[in-house]
Amino acid sequence: MLKSILGVIIGYIVMAIVGFGVFTCAYLGLGVDRVFEPESYSVSMLWIVLMVGVALIGGLLGGLVCAAISKSKGACMALAIIVLVLGLAVAIPTMTKERTDAARSGDVPNLEAMQKAQTPTWVLLLNPVLGAVGVMLGAARMKNTPTV
């Protein structure tokens, strides 16, 4: 039981670190003009593709870590459900916040960009699903491993 709980927690932490690290480096590397559409806070298609990839790969890594620690498909399923529920819970306030037509000018610090970014609703709903799918794909390596 303790290994299952530990697997879920560490798997989620791995996902968070991967997401934070990739998005921070990508924002700094791509620059504000490739992350956002011109003169707006609407995210670019390049950023959307990156978000989708990070959700899937982060979930895959989280699922692999959870499976390696817990040796339990049940723990991996719990992690997938947590990723889905928390992802949707985080998406709801973002979907309901007021969209502004404020023009973006010049460089935008990372924190301000995160606060003002306007991500399409379909992406906000798709990412938690992809994260959960990634977790289950990562857990699939346990196909022939007995459940403990």
Q: What is the pLDDT of residue 38?
A: 87
Q: What is the pLDDT of residue 25?
A: 93
CA 139/CA 117 separation, integer angstroms? 32
And the tokens for 107? Answer: 């460089």
Could you tell me the end-to-end alpha-carbon distance of the chain, in angstroms, rounded to an integer? 9
Domain boundaries, the chain: 2-95+103-136
Q: What is the pLDDT of residue 124?
A: 94
Q: What is the pLDDT of residue 60?
A: 96
Q: What would the 3-class secondary structure string for 62-88 be?
A: HHHHHHHHHCCHHHHHHHHHHHHHHHH
pTM reported for the whole predicted model: 0.85
> In order along the chain (148 residues), what is the average pLDDT of each group of 10 residues?
94 96 92 88 93 96 95 94 96 82 74 83 95 94 57
Q: Which amino acid is at 77?
A: M
Q: What is the pLDDT of residue 112?
A: 80
Q: What is the pLDDT of residue 17?
A: 97
Phi, psi for residue 42 in degrees, rounded to 5: -75, 130
Q: What is the pLDDT of residue 40?
A: 85
